[in-house]
A and B are shown apart, each in its own frame.
Chain A
Amino acid sequence: MKTHSIRINNTTSNTTGWYISSWGAALLVALPVLSVFYLALFPEENIWRHLADTILPVYISTTLKLMFGVASLSVIIGVTTAWLVTMCQFPGKRFFEWALLLPFAVPAYVIAYIYTDILEFAGPVQGFLRDIFGWQSARDYWFPEIRSLSGAILMLTFVLYPYVYLMSRAAFLEQSMSLKDASRLMGCNPWQSFYRISLPIARPSIAVGLALVSMETLNDFGTVDYFAVQSMSAGIYDTWLNMGNLGGAAQIATMMMIFVVVLIALERIARAKQKQFHSTDRFKAIQAYPLNRVRSTLAFLACLLPILLGFIIPVGLLVSYSASHLDQFLSTDFLAHASHSFLLSGGAALLCLTLAVLLTYAKRLNPNRLGLTSAVRFSSLGYALPGAVLAIGVIIPLAAFDNRVDAFMRAQFNFSTGLLLSGTVFAVIFAYCVRFLAVATGAVDSSLNKVTPTMDMASRSLGMSPSKTLIKVHFPLIKGGLLTATLVVFVDCMKELPATLILRPFNYDTLATYVYQYASDEQLEQCALAALLIVLVGIIPVILLSKSITGTRTAH
């Protein structure tokens, strides 16, 4: 889509500065991915043939089923609820607007542990059934196995649908009411107006949400590992840790990134088909459709269900577990864990936002210049790497840098600088950025794309530099998108586990690593309180986020 190129001063040094620094940033972020490619191309022992002959087809088909399942369910839940709370008037709507985001704060591995506790043989549900029907052992009856592919699809959907909800709600809110009014005047009923106008306009945003859901699904490890689902990310760990073949693991990881490239391409295609801009009337208040009693009830239930499954039940159980372990909480160094989590996540969120703005705006300024779009896309690939593989990808360039500097300093000044970056919080923050930059760029890009290029042209022809245009014109317009980007990255970082474990400094625990120590040993009760706190901390940005999105419309 070249139509929105900004033709003014396209080749001045102003835009060239943006061009060069964004290339630099993209390359930096791509380093870990390149390291993984390197590992894949030059393995110590090549077992690709063995993998392809035996287990790889299983990994691939399982992964495809998993992604398809999670994506379809997430779209159904996310888009339906977003439409209901944005465009319809029914009791509880104000509550649901933000509450639908709550499951986003629950880590997938936690929810998997909890539902297994509830639904397995020894859990309350099956115990109740056995009491009623007098069954004795597992051989007497059939019950759906929670630790299965379908179980994993459900668990991941419960906590990932908010991505789609978030993006589609933002899109519905930003839509011009006049378009919808026009459609109604043309004789569309509300459903037709949804299918013909709102949904197509929201499609780019939905696609962004869906791409995020799919990528999160691709690299989920906690759930698939616990449920013994043989997805590609489980295969990467198997190959690396159990076959001792990091090269083979990197090869599967590389293949997984091809999946992501396809996903991103699909998203771009979806987006490219649609390009519309609005300028004047976006802040006109939305006229919500009032619903009759039956429809209100249905809408109410449709919005309640995902919250119930993805938040109320798991968090309720965590609360009840925690109640019996309050003493442990008081004895741990909890504040330190929490402050570490905040520091890492906050640092990474700000850095990600900065990089995302740099990359997307540079792309906007230089739409036709060599390779920038590809570079930006390439920088998103880190999102597809499972945390532990990403950690290795981060260690390689950082350690190489540290050791080069050290060797140089030793040779020149007989002074050892040791490891400057490896094993510091910087390494962890860098890893977070590589991992979650895609989330931030996705959100910023889709907001920025909605600002008509005529704004840029007007501003630039009035003599403002690209930077000033960004700050004075774009920032106020895309404030909501920026906030979304920052907070989503923040919550994601709070939950991140594998990379944190491997890269952190000595004696350094975050809330997530603390929970993991116990949860990994199936002792969820022991750490329920800390898990609960991750969830609670995650809720704060979720609420702010929701307020700010609604605010983009009502505050003006």
Chain B
Amino acid sequence: MLRKSLFALATLSTTLAFNPMAQAEEVNIYSYRQPFLIEPLLTAFTEQTGIKTNVVFAKKGLLERLEHEGRNSPADILLTSDIGPLFDATEKGLFAPLSSDIVNANVPAQFRDPEGRWVGLTSRARLIYASKDRVKDGEITSYEELADPKWKGRICTRSGKHTYNLSLIGSMIAHHGEEEAENWLGALKENLAQKPQGNDRAQVKAIKEGVCDLALGNSYYFGHMLTNDKEPEQKTWAESVNLVFPNQADRGAHMNISGAGITKHAPHAAAAQKLIEFLTEEESQKYYANSNFEFPVRPNTPRSELIEKYMGEFKGDSINLQEVSAQRSAAAKLVDKVGFDN
């Protein structure tokens, strides 16, 4: 009985399993980006090129899957929503260098690996959201000022170990050194209104609810909240805050990217390159800008009207993201050390 059921199961699994040896032109994607963000782009890509796309989405673990599958991995592209995994995959040698004139023309050097192993597809700034009612214009102008004791009990943020905050803390280390960054983080911890929790939107909501006066959040969430017809309540959250682009007098606001890389053993490397090129072109960049309110990396592509209206021109930190990423694990240790999330 045992043997029979095992056998049945094995047959079932092989017939139903994905077959990596299939011959049709296609490209296989391991994606950390949510499906609804990329599906329309992938559909457009298939319509234009006839290349089928296959996706596995997960928020974690795909990098490890890719690593252990090794030379037989079916994945062609790793798509991420943050610089972190791109950096890790590069360090582990999982990406093959890409040399594409199209990509080089579309993506400024600041947003891609010098050796072409990863490419940024969109960028965003990490902003300070400030209560319209309780924070005066110009009262806060930089990340450094978040450590000022006058904000005691007035700041909200998500977990210090969330990847967006780690990159920010990493950039503080890159600019000021570890010791100063630790003092800053410890003082910021003292100013928190509540234990770090929730996502970026939840922090803006907390400002609206009067829990705190300042919050850290990525720029595109503002657009999402302001246009949210499914949960109109979010519009009131967004309307209760002013946007502060930090450090405009010096280095500029901390920037992060979403991006992609082609795997070292990609079975469909040519198709993968086509897809990445496609994602850097005008149409795709516009789509990112208008549907997810991110900043296009392609210099001539306009940002969404809404973003243009509320954010205008600002100065972004031009430090190489490689340098910031290299400090991420030191940043995580600082978070533990000052007990930021406790």
Interfacial residues, chain A to chain B (CB-CB below 8 A):
45, 47, 50-51, 54-55, 58, 121-122, 136-139, 147, 227-228, 230, 237-238, 240-246, 343, 347, 350-351, 354, 358, 388, 391-392, 395-396, 399-400, 402-403, 406, 416, 418-419, 422-426, 429, 498, 501-508, 513, 517, 520-523, 525-526
In this complex, the member of A358, A396, A422 whose beta carbon has the largest number of chain B beta carbons within 10 angstroms is: A422
Interfacial residues, chain B to chain A (CB-CB below 8 A):
1-2, 5-6, 9-10, 12-14, 16-18, 20-21, 28, 34-36, 54-62, 64-65, 68-74, 84, 88, 159, 161-163, 166, 195-199, 201-202, 205, 209-211, 230-231, 233, 328-329, 332-333, 335-337, 339, 341-342
Tell me what chain A mostly uses at the interface: helix, strand, loop, or mixed. helix
Nearest A-chain residue to B161, judged by Cβ:
A242
Q: Quote the shortest CB–CB distance from A61 to chain B (angstroms).
A: 11
Tell whether, in the assembled complex, residue A243 and residue B5 are in contact, meaning their CB atoms are under 8 Å apart.
Answer: no
Instruction: Select B211's contact among A45, A58, A121, A246, beta carbons within 8 Å.
Output: A121
CA distance A301 to B159 in the complex (A): 40
Nearest A-chain residue to B28, judged by Cβ:
A506
CA distance A136 to B209 in the complex (A): 9
* Given A58-B342, A423-B74, A522-B199: A343 touches B337 (CB 8 Å cut-off): no
Tell whether, in the assembled complex, residue A139 and residue B210 are in contact, meaning their CB atoms are under 8 Å apart.
Answer: yes
* Given A244-B84, A400-B68: A425 touches B341 (CB 8 Å cut-off): no
Q: Which residues of B contact A343 (CB under 8 A)?
A: 12, 16
Can you list 21 contacts pairing A with B, beta carbon distance less than 8 Å? A50-B333, A50-B336, A58-B342, A122-B209, A230-B342, A242-B162, A242-B328, A242-B332, A244-B329, A343-B12, A347-B9, A354-B5, A418-B21, A422-B68, A423-B65, A424-B16, A506-B18, A506-B74, A517-B35, A517-B36, A521-B199
CA distance A52 to B14 in the complex (A): 45
Nearest A-chain residue to B337, judged by Cβ:
A54
Tell whether, in the assembled complex, residue A121 and residue B209 are in contact, meaning their CB atoms are under 8 Å apart.
Answer: yes
Q: Which residues of A contact B57 (CB under 8 A)?
A: 501, 513, 517
Instruction: Select B2's contact among A47, A230, A354, A422, beta carbons within 8 Å.
Output: A354
Tell whether, in the assembled complex, residue B73 and residue A419 are in contact, meaning their CB atoms are under 8 Å apart.
Answer: yes
Nearest A-chain residue to B341, judged by Cβ:
A230
Instruction: Select B20's contact among A147, A242, A350, A419, beta carbons within 8 Å.
Output: A419
Tell whether, in the assembled complex, residue A137 and residue B209 are in contact, meaning their CB atoms are under 8 Å apart.
Answer: yes
Q: Which residues of B contact A507 (CB under 8 A)?
A: 18, 54-56
CA distance A390 to B296 in the complex (A): 37
CA distance A403 to B16 in the complex (A): 21
CA distance A89 to B199 in the complex (A): 49
CA distance A344 to B196 in the complex (A): 37
CA distance A416 to B65 in the complex (A): 20
Tell whether, in the assembled complex, residue B231 and residue A525 are in contact, meaning their CB atoms are under 8 Å apart.
Answer: yes
Q: Quote the shortest CB–CB distance from A27 to chain B (angstroms).
A: 16
Tell whether, in the assembled complex, residue A402 and residue B202 are in contact, meaning their CB atoms are under 8 Å apart.
Answer: no
Tell whether, in the assembled complex, residue B205 and residue A122 are in contact, meaning their CB atoms are under 8 Å apart.
Answer: yes
Q: Which residues of B contact A422 (CB under 8 A)?
A: 65, 68-69, 72
CA distance A317 to B59 in the complex (A): 27
